[in-house]
């Protein structure tokens, strides 16, 4: 049992995934508030937009670490989400600041529905990742 | 309550602030870094020196000195001089000061007008008597005319008394005494008595005065002297039928903004104790007369002397009678409730109102309550009437209502009106200005609508064609079982036209269609049409209008299809059924349409559902006399006592007699709980492009001339404020402070940090500075004549406009002639020439600068309207964002040039005149509610969506249309009908807060056949057009085109499955109700917005798309599928009726060249252009009769008018053409085209059923659809 770089990556990913889970929960709550009228879309977009890039960056960061650690299986596991993130960001509405959400279009039911669905799917993904990393970490620690 | 989250954003004035430190408000000028010269960083001394004030492009004629030197001011001061002076003024007014805590210059602008008096040398002040006066004066001002009457009456103290019970009785008595005035007014305390004090001063504007609303709970019914209850209509604001030019004034000054329409405002306090008694006047707080600023003062800032607080001495609850009479408005006002109309000052009082919340409780609660006072309240409304033009004519002056003659307060008591005691008396005259209730116009004629569909029909489907159609008015009433309406005299209410523009407005066409529809046989509507065989699909008198067929027991009038339409007039019960029918479900609404008759109610209590906040409407179910069941959420609510109380008989009657329950379109004068701040004044700022390009087009002089002409007709009251900013590469501001001898131009070349060269006086009171404004408008064209600067700093100009107006909100009008190229918001020319092929690019914005600014504006209640006069690419796609999200409107005059393009000049003039004078609503919001189970999917139009069902509309204008796609979330099996309710809360140009409510009721069905049979093809096509625009912007035009083709394919295939197979063979079947759908889709495919033609300019395309989103249904359909008339066949045999006039008419033709022959005259009406095609074989006699030319060859090409000749043919044609032109709000370009002209394509490009090089003919398109349907 040795503490390898891979093990370190898994531990770090475990922590960061927990952070991402919080992000995504915040995201879900925010859209739910929008849907139920509790928040003004401008305020809500202002609070959500700054979180988009950090979330993507964190995810890409630990995936990159896995690549360095040569955990290809894990990298493959994360690739679809990274690709989705990049595409999503490329197709964002015209805006000068960072972020994805435009207060003028976010209230469209399609947009809201999509954002909410995205939130739930990502929550599921991160939860699965979390346990996967936990398992992998132990596996790496034990096996090496 | 859901609102809590959304605080309205009213930045500037929060009442609280004022309250908190009243003094600050006043002091503003002094304190916050007054704009003293020194403090302003930006002000570089050099730049502003008076002498130097750069008149950039020096006007040749003017010696610089003129502009520059505002004479008196010390050089350093420039603009600022004023500010320094201000403090004193304010001091005087003390509290009155505008609440703005900070004295940032901009804020003052608004105020300044009011304050101005101080500015002037004392001697000079032309004090309109009222100006300086305190609140009382305000109140009076308007009412002067009435004064006498009022004086006479004893104030009605009773009302205020809490117990209230007695009041009614007393009221009755008192009222009678009082020369017929509605007692109610007085009752509410001194506040209401507006007019007392200044007898002497006649007000110049009668109309304005009526300050109806404030604070008084009035019932619409007022007691007349005759004891009749008359519902009055208030025509007032409601727009008089607008002819092309809307008239503007809405009568009542009003109130506040609020944000959430109708939602409960969180009640901050319980209803103010002060008013406990006053159930009747629930809203006492509202503005007392005080609201009306005396003409001069009007400004926000205006010092309202009578601060509520001050007067506060008076115990709120009761007003000593004496006081009441006198009007010391202030005293009388209970501090809390009274909303001073005056914006800021009155803050204190206002708060209490908030507390009130919409709680019904206040009202009547008293057990005694017997007759709720409200009824008596009639009075208050005066304002309403005032608005109406007619009123003014009346001797009474603005206040007609008060004149003894009308008993019902405003309603002109028509003596003859049916007086059934129990019933609400009708207003006699149809149009009587004063009336508030929907007046059943005595003459039925005006209303063209068919009687409520339900009337005759069997619950089941096909409604019998309503026979009544032609005589709608009379019949409906008659048909109704008397029982329903309680005592109402038959016909009285039933017959009311609900605010429809019968009077010949542009609605005529539609009305005509409606009639046809009524006459159409039932079979027809259920028939399947084989499109391949039937070529003649268009009825000769236009497409019929589909209307929902309501069950028999709803003998009620549904909302006019001109205002509110649903794509499906039978809503599928489940979403599965909807998707099976493959039709879009949505509603199209034209909420602020000019109406000739609109019931206006000023009631102490606005009855709404306690859970979903729906306004009571004709489609609710009365469980018993005291409870009603909401038709949207199905909650059972209690009915306030006042609602069913009949002041005439002093008994509780049938609530169904109330106008709220009798009319699906109604307007309430909102009490204070609907205001988040005092109602804003009308503020207009004009941003004028004066770059080389702009000057070259010559628009400036035309604009100035038109504005000069219409200056007096700008909608507004005494507080109306205007300002001007010109821009090229620099910004030019104009100091129009009252007292200057010349307008003073201030040039700010610094674009990066736009600042205002002087804190106020850039926006000035229209009435106080009228001479300066007139002079400025006269000089503007010369000042910039010969300007060679080509840059255009639109972005910087908009930023400074935002700054100038952020304290009040209002309307910014931008005249732009080229691409903005300098400063913030500068754009690149990204137009690569033709947008060709399958890739149409650049239809989306290039930057979000304008969008963000637009959202900022929206938050400050500023709307930006854009007039694009560009000859070259100006990136409308990007610039339009400034209007899109601030609820502005956009006009486009491609290649405008006063000399080179004369046909545009007329259109520009007509549009601008209409624009300047049409009705306007400020700081508005619109909420759409629908029956549980439905939800709004997407909104279309210009606005900002603030929550799932709330649109924020800084301005609302009568030409704005909206669309909403709906989705079915739950099965709709709880009720046989569903309803949609649109409630538009706005501040009228008179400063009155109003709520216009439209309710549409549509039956639910579980039969797919019924869904098809009742579909509204025009609404479906219009909704598809809006969806296609979204698709184009989000994806690509080619995707949108595919969707447009798929829509009819899907629908027709779905329909075909409902038809026996034997009929299907070789046919393309469509339900009769959707027979035109493929044609409309083809028209859309060929329209400028969606065609792939390479010759379409990007700007034209983007503008056309924008129009698809915002045009009301009938105009949109006309622009998609223009009307074609064979003028040579005109005759008076089958005339169109407009009012009493009969207009000779011709049948409408389909747009196929097969219908064109060379011996005729054909008129193509596209909505914003008319082309008259003269066939080459036209007879010489016809040429002589119509054009005064001997033969075809001598008719000049490019005529833009028809000569006025006195022969029957010419008269009939001109009559018809003028009728068409008058029936729309916008201007048109008219062009005579000879068959051999080079402009021939202008006409023939609209022959949509023809084949062209790259598009299919209609028949080919059908075959194509058939192929797709099979494949």
Does B1204 score more than 50 pLDDT? yes
Integer Cα distance of B279 and B603 in angstroms: 11
Supply φ then ψ for residue B70, to 5 degrees: -75, 120
Beta carbons of A33 and B939 less than 8 Å apart: no
Nearest CA in chain A to B940: A108
A104:B945 CB<8 A:
yes
| Residue B163 or B932, more confident | B932
Q: What pLDDT does B758 receive?
A: 81
Instruction: Give, in order, the Cα–Cα distances in Å from B183 to each of B217, B292, B373, B434, B805.
Output: 12, 20, 10, 16, 40
Mutate to test the interface with B, among A42, A46, A49 (most CBs of B within 10 A): A42
Contact list in A for residue B936 (CB cut-off 8 A) is: 109
pLDDT at position B1132: 77
For range B320-334, the mean pLDDT: 36
Superfamily for B1017-1119? Answer: Sec23/Sec24 helical domain (1.20.120.730)
What is the reported pLDDT for B1222? 86
B203 or B1239, which is more confident: B1239
pLDDT band at B773 (very low <50, low <70, confident <90, very high): very high
Q: Whole-angstrom Cα distance, residue B191 to residue B139?
A: 8
Q: Which residues contact B22 (CB under 8 A, 6 or more apart)?
A: B94, B95, B97, B99, B307, B309, B347, B348
Q: What is the mean pLDDT of residues B1182-1189?
A: 86
Strand-pair category, B1169-1174 with B1229-1234: parallel
pLDDT tens by residue, B1217-1271: 888 888 888 888 888 888 888 888 888 888 888 888 778 899 999 999 999 888 7
Q: What average pLDDT does the segment B924-953 reach?
A: 92
Pick the residue of B10, B848, B926, B1027 with the most A CBs within 10 A to test the interface with A by mutation. B848
Same CATH topology for B683-828+845-917 and B1017-1119?
A: no
Flag whether pLDDT at B1061 surpasses 50. Answer: yes
Euclidean distance between CA atoms B55 and B1094, whole angstroms: 44
In the three-class reduction of DSSP (H, G, I as helix; E, B as strand; rest coil), residue B1213 is classed as helix
CA distance B9 to chain A (A): 10
Instruction: Name the one residue in this structure whose structure tokens are 């939130």.
Output: A119
Q: Which of B847, B948, B967 sits opposite A37 (nearest CB)?
A: B948
Interface touch A41/B945, C-beta < 8 Å: yes
**CB–CB contact B5 A38 (8 Å):** yes
What one-character DSSP code corresponds to residue B153?
A: S
Choose among B530, B580, B535, B578: nearest CA to B1266: B530
Asked if B859 lies within 8 A of A110 by C-beta distance, the reply is no
Identify the band that residue B284 occupies on the pLDDT scale cut at 50, 70 and 90.
very low
B1 vs A contacts (CB less than 8 Å): none
Q: Which of A45, A96, A97, A108 to mutate to test the interface with B (most CBs of B within 10 A)?
A: A108
Residue position matching structure tokens 């032109």: B1221
Inter-chain touch A104–B944, beta carbons under 8 Å:
yes
Among the partner residues A94, A104, A108, nearest to B844 by beta-carbon distance: A94
What is the Cα–Cα distance from B934 to B977, expressed in whole angstroms? 12
Looking at the partner chain, which of A38, A42, A94 has a beta carbon nearest the beta carbon of B847? A94
DSSP assigned state of B572: E
Task: Say what the pLDDT of residue B646 is.
Answer: 66
Residue B1192 has pLDDT above 90, yes or no: no
Which residue from A minimizes the CA distance to B854?
A104
At residue B814 the predicted structure's pLDDT band, cuts being 50, 70 and 90, is very high
Average pLDDT of chain A is 91
Smallest Cα distance from A29 to chain B, Å: 14
Determine, yes or no, domain membership for A144.
no
Residue B228 scores a pLDDT above 70 = no
Q: Which long-range contacts (CB under 8 A, 24 or more apart) does B618-621 make?
A: B618/B554, B618/B556, B618/B557, B618/B558, B618/B660, B618/B661, B618/B662, B618/B663, B618/B664, B618/B999, B618/B1001, B619/B554, B619/B556, B619/B664, B619/B977, B619/B979, B619/B999, B619/B1001, B620/B661
Strands (E), B675-775: 683-689, 721-727, 731-735, 744-748, 763-765
Q: Which residues of A touch B9 (CB under 8 A)?
A: 40
Q: What residues in chain A have their Cβ under 8 A from chain B's Cβ atoms?
A: 33-42, 93-96, 102-104, 107-110
Q: How confident is the model at residue B165 (pLDDT cuts 50, 70, 90)?
A: very low
Nearest Cα residue in chain A from B845 = A94
> Where does B683-828+845-917 sit in CATH, by number?
3.40.50.410
Question: Worst-scoring range by mean pLDDT, B556-560, B615-619, B708-712?
Answer: B556-560
What residues in B contact A108, CB-CB < 8 Å?
937-939, 945
Mean pLDDT score, B383-402? 34
Q: Which tops the pLDDT comparison, B1052 or B232?
A: B1052
- Which residue in the set A40, A96, A108 is minimally distant from B848, CB to CB? A96
pLDDT digits (tens, 9 = 90+) for B505-515: 333 444 444 44
Q: Is residue A143 part of a domain?
A: no
The minimal CB distance from A38 to the residues B2, B847, B967 is found for: B2
Give the residue on B whose Cα is nearest the Cα of A38. Answer: B5
Work out the minimum CA distance from B851 to partner chain A, whole angstroms. Answer: 9
Distance of CA B727 to the CA centre of its chain: 30
| Higher-confidence position of B1039 and B242 | B1039
Whether A40 sits inside 8 A of B937 (CB atoms) is no
Instruction: Give the three-state DSSP class for B114.
Output: helix
Q: Which residues of B touch A38 (CB under 8 A)?
A: 2, 4-5
Give CA–CA dist B180/B171, Å, rounded: 11
Residue of A nearest to B825 (CA): A96
Residue B839 binned pLDDT confidence (cut-offs 50, 70, 90): low
For residue range B1126-1179, what is the model confidence (pLDDT) as tens digits?
Answer: 988 888 777 777 666 778 878 888 888 888 888 888 999 998 889 999 888 888
Distance from B925 to chain A by nearest Cα, in Å?
A: 14
At residue B787, φ and ψ (nearest 5 deg) are -65, 130
Domain carrying residue A80: 5-23+32-138
Q: How confident is the model at residue B524 (pLDDT cuts 50, 70, 90)?
A: low
Domain count, chain A: 1
Q: What is the pLDDT of residue B660?
A: 85
Q: What is the least distance, in Å, from the CA of A34 to any CA of chain B?
A: 7
Which chain A residue's Cα is nearest to B885? Answer: A104
Residues of chain A found within 8 Å of residue B846, distances taken between Cβ atoms: 94
Yes or no, beta carbons of B948 and A107 under 8 Å apart:
yes
Q: What share of chain A is helix, strand, coil (3-state, %, to 5)?
A: 80, 0, 20
The SS3 call for residue B400 is coil
Q: pLDDT (tens digit, 9 = 90+) per residue, B786-811?
A: 889 999 999 999 999 999 999 999 99
Burial A111-131 (b: 16+ CB within 10 A, else e): bbeebbebbeebbebbeebbe
Nearest-5° angle of CA B421, CA B422, CA B428? Answer: 60
Coil/strand/helix, residue B1230: strand
Nearest CA in chain A to B1033: A93
Residue B427's pLDDT band, with cuts at 50, 70 and 90, is: very low
What is the percentage of chain B residues whose pLDDT exceeds 70? 57
Chain B positions in Cβ-Cβ contact with residue A34 (cut-off 8 Å): 947-948
pLDDT of residue B986: 95
Instruction: Locate the domains of chain B by residue range.
Output: 130-233+277-416, 453-486+495-557, 683-828+845-917, 1017-1119, 1122-1244
A with B: how many residue pairs have Cβ under 8 Å apart? 67
Task: Output the pLDDT for position B312.
Answer: 33
Residues of A in contact with B3 (CB under 8 A): 37
Task: Look at residue A55 and tell me if it is in a domain.
Answer: yes
Tell me which chain A residues have a C-beta less than 8 angstroms from the C-beta of B825. none
Q: Does residue B115 carry a pLDDT above 80? A: no
pLDDT value at position B849?
Answer: 93
User: Which of B845, B947, B967 is the closest to A94 by Cβ?
Assistant: B845
Q: How confident is the model at residue B520 (pLDDT cuts 50, 70, 90)?
A: very low
Instruction: Report, as an integer, the average pLDDT of A68-81.
Output: 93
How far apart are the CA of A100 and the nearest CA of chain B, in angstroms?
13
| Nearest-CB residue to B5 (from A40, A95, A107) | A40
The residue in chain B having the minimum alpha-carbon distance to the alpha carbon of residue A43 is B6
Chain B residues whose beta carbon lies within 8 Å of the beta carbon of residue A114: none
Residue B261 gets which letter from DSSP?
A: T
Q: Is B575 exposed, middle or buried (0-12, 13-18, 19+ CB in 10 A)?
A: middle
What pLDDT is attached to residue B648?
61
Q: Output helix, strand, coil percentages for chain B, rounded to the nearest 5.
A: 35, 15, 50
Cβ atoms of A75 and A2 within 8 Å: the answer is no
Residue B1038 contacts residue B978 (beta carbons within 8 Å)? no
User: Judging by beta carbons within 10 Å of its beta carbon (0-12, 13-18, 19+), is residue B931 exposed, middle or buried?
Assistant: buried
- Residue A66 reports pLDDT greater than 50: yes
Cβ contact, residue pair B849, A96, below 8 Å: yes
The rounded distance, in Å, linking the Cα atoms of B161 and B317 is 7
Residues B1106-1124, mean pLDDT to the nearest whole number:
92
| Chain B contacts to A (CB-CB under 8 A) | 2-6, 9, 844-849, 851-852, 855, 859, 884-885, 935-939, 944-950, 967
Residue A43 has pLDDT above 60, yes or no: yes
Q: Residue B684: is its pLDDT beyond 60?
A: yes
Q: What percent of chain B has pLDDT over 90?
A: 30
Report pLDDT digits (tens) over A11-42.
Answer: 999 999 999 999 999 999 999 998 887 788 99
Q: Which fold has domain B1122-1244?
A: Severin (3.40.20)
State the virtual CA torsion across A86, A92, A95, A100 in degrees, nearest 10.
-80
Contact check, Cβ <8 Å, B855/A104: yes
Query: Are B5 and A39 an interchain contact pair (Cβ–Cβ within 8 Å)?
Result: yes
Tell me whether residues B938 and A42 touch, CB distance under 8 A. Answer: no
Give domain status of residue A51, yes or no: yes
Whole-number Å distance between alpha carbons of A7 and B1257: 70
């Amino acid at each position: 049992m040795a503490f390898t770089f891979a093990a370190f990556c898994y531990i770090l990913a475990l922590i960061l995934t927990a952070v991402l889970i919080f992000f995504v929960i915040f995201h879900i709550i925010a859209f739910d508030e929008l849907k139920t009228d509790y928040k003004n879309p401008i305020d809500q977009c202002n609070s959500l937009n700054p979180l988009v890039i950090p979330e993507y960056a964190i995810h890409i960061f630990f995936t990159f670490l896995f690549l360095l650690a040569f955990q290809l299986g894990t990298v493959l596991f994360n690739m679809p989400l990274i690709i989705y993130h990049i595409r999503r960001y490329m197709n964002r509405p015209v805006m000068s600041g960072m972020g994805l959400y435009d207060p003028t279009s976010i209230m469209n039911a399609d947009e809201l529905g999509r954002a909410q669905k995205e939130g739930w799917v990502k929550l599921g993904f991160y939860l699965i990742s979390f346990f996967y990393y936990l398992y992998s970490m132990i596996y790496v620690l034990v096996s090496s | 309550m859901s609102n809590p989250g959304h605080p309205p954003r009213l930045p500037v004035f929060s009442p609280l602030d004022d309250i908190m430190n009243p003094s600050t408000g006043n002091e503003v000028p002094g304190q916050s870094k007054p704009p003293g010269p020194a403090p302003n960083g930006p002000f570089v001394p050099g730049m502003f020196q008076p002498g130097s004030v750069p008149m950039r492009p020096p006007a040749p004629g003017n010696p610089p000195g003129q502009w520059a030197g505002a004479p008196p001011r010390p050089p350093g001061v420039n603009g600022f001089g004023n500010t320094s002076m201000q403090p004193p003024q304010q001091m005087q007014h003390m509290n009155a000061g505008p609440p703005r805590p900070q004295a940032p210059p901009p804020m003052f602008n608004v105020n300044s007008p009011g304050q101005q008096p101080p500015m002037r040398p004392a001697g000079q002040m032309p004090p309109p008597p009222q100006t300086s006066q305190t609140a009382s004066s305000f109140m009076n001002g308007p009412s002067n005319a009435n004064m006498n009457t009022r004086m006479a009456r004893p104030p009605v103290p009773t009302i205020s008394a809490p117990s209230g019970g007695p009041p009614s009785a007393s009221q009755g008595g008192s009222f009678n005494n009082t020369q017929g005035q509605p007692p109610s007014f007085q009752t509410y305390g001194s506040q209401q008595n507006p007019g007392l004090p200044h007898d002497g001063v006649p007000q110049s504007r009668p109309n304005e005065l009526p300050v109806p609303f404030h604070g008084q709970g009035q019932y619409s019914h007022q007691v007349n002297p005759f004891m009749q209850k008359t519902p009055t209509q208030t025509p007032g604001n409601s727009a008089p039928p607008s002819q092309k030019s809307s008239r503007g004034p809405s009568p009542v000054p009003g109130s506040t903004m609020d944000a959430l329409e109708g939602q409960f405002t969180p009640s901050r306090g319980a209803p103010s104790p002060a008013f406990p008694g006053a159930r009747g006047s629930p809203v006492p707080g509202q503005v007392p007369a005080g609201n009306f600023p005396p003409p001069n003062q009007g400004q926000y800032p205006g010092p309202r002397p009578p601060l509520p607080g001050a007067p506060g001495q008076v115990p709120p609850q009761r007003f000593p009678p004496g006081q009441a009479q006198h009007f010391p408005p202030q005293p009388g006002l209970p501090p809390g409730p009274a909303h001073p109309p005056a914006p800021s000052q009155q803050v204190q009082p206002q708060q209490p109102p908030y507390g009130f919340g919409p709680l019904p409780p206040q009202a009547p609660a008293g057990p005694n309550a017997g007759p709720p006072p409200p009824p008596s309240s009639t009075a208050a409304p005066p304002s309403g009437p005032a608005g109406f033009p007619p009123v003014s004519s009346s001797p009474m002056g603005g206040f007609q209502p008060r004149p003894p003659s009308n008993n019902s307060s405003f309603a002109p008591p028509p003596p003859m009106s049916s007086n059934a005691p129990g019933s609400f008396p009708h207003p006699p005259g149809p149009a009587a200005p004063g009336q508030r209730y929907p007046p059943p116009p005595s003459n039925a004629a005006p209303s063209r609508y068919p009687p409520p569909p339900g009337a005759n029909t069997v619950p089941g489907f096909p409604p019998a064609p309503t026979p009544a159609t032609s005589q709608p008015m009379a019949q409906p009433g008659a048909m109704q079982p008397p029982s329903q309406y309680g005592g109402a005299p038959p016909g009285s209410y039933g017959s009311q036209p609900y605010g429809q523009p019968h009077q010949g407005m542009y609605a005529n066409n539609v009305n005509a269609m409606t009639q046809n529809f009524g006459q159409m046989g039932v079979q027809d509507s259920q028939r399947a049409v084989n499109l391949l065989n039937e070529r003649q699909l268009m009825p000769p008198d236009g497409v019929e209008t589909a209307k929902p067929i309501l069950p028999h027991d709803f003998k009620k009038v549904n909302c006019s299809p001109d205002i509110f339409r649903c794509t499906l007039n039978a809503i599928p019960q489940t979403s599965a059924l909807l998707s099976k029918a493959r039709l879009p479900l949505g509603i199209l609404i034209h909420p602020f349409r000019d109406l000739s008759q609109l019931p206006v109610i000023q009631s102490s209590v606005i009855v709404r559902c306690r859970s979903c906040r729906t306004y009571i409407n004709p489609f609710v179910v009365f469980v018993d006399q005291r409870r009603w069941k909401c038709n949207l959420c199905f909650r059972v609510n209690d009915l306030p006592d006042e609602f069913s109380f009949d002041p005439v008989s002093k008994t509780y009657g049938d609530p169904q007699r109330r106008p709220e329950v009798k009319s699906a379109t109604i307007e309430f004068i909102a009490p204070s709980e609907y205001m988040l701040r005092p109602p804003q004044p009308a503020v207009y700022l004009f941003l004028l492009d004066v770059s080389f390009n702009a000057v070259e087009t010559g628009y400036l002089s035309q604009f100035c001339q038109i504005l000069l002409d219409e200056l007096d007709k700008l909608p507004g009251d005494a507080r109306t404020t205007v300002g001007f900013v010109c821009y090229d590469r620099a910004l030019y501001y104009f100091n129009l402070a009252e007292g200057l001898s010349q307008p003073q131009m201030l040039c700010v070349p610094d674009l990066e940090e736009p600042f205002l060269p002087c804190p106020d006086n850039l926006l000035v009171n229209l009435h106080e500075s009228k001479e300066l404004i007139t002079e400025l408008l006269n000089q503007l064209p010369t000042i910039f004549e010969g300007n060679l600067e080509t840059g255009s700093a639109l972005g910087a100009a908009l930023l400074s406009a935002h700054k100038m107006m952020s304290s009040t909100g209002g309307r910014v009008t931008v005249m732009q002639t080229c691409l903005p190229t300098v400063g913030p918001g500068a754009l690149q020319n990204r137009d690569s020439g033709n947008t060709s092929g399958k890739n149409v690019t650049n239809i989306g914005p290039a930057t979000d600068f304008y969008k963000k600014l637009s959202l900022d504006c929206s938050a400050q209640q500023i709307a930006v309207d854009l007039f694009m006069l560009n000859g070259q690419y100006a990136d409308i796609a990007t610039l339009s964002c400034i209007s899109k999200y601030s609820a502005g409107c956009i006009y486009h005059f491609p290649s405008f040039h006063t000399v080179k393009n004369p046909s545009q000049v007329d259109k520009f003039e007509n549009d601008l005149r209409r624009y300047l004078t049409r009705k306007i609503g400020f700081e508005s919001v619109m909420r759409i509610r629908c029956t549980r189970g439905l939800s709004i999917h997407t909104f279309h139009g210009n606005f900002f969506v603030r929550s799932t069902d709330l649109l924020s509309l800084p301005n609302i204008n009568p030409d704005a249309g909206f669309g909403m796609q709906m989705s079915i979330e739950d099965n709709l099996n709880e009720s046989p009908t569903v309803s949609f309710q649109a409630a538009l809360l706005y501040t009228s140009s008179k400063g009155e807060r109003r709520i216009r409510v439209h309710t549409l009721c549509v039956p639910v069905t579980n039969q797919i056949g019924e869904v098809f049979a009742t579909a509204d093809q025009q609404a479906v096509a219009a909704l598809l057009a809006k969806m296609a625009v979204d698709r184009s912007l989000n994806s690509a035009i080619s995707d949108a085109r595919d969707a447009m083709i798929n829509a009819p394919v899907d629908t027709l295939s779905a329909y075909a499955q409902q038809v026996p197979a034997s009929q299907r063979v070789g046919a393309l079947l469509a339900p009769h109700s959707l027979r035109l759908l493929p044609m409309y889709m083809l028209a859309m495919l060929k329209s400028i917005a969606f065609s792939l033609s390479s010759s379409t300019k990007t700007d034209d395309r983007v503008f056309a798309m924008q129009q698809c989103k915002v045009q009301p249904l009938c105009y949109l359909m006309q622009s998609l599928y223009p009307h074609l008339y064979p003028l040579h066949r005109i005759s008076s045999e089958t005339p169109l009726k407009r009012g009493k006039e009969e207009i000779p008419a011709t049948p409408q033709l389909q747009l196929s060249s097969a219908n064109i022959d060379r011996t005729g005259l054909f008129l193509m009406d596209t909505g914003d252009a008319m082309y008259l095609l003269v066939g080459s074989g036209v007879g010489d006699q016809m040429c002589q009769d119509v054009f005064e030319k001997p033969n075809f060859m001598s008719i000049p090409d490019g005529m833009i008018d028809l000569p006025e000749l006195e022969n029957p043919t010419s008269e009939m044609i001109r009559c018809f053409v003028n009728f068409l032109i008058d029936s729309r709000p916008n201007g048109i370009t008219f062009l005579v085209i000879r068959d051999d002209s080079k402009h021939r394509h202008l006409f023939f490009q609209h022959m949509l059923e023809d084949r062209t090089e790259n598009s299919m003919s209609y028949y080919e398109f059908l075959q194509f659809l058939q192929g797709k349907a099979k494949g």
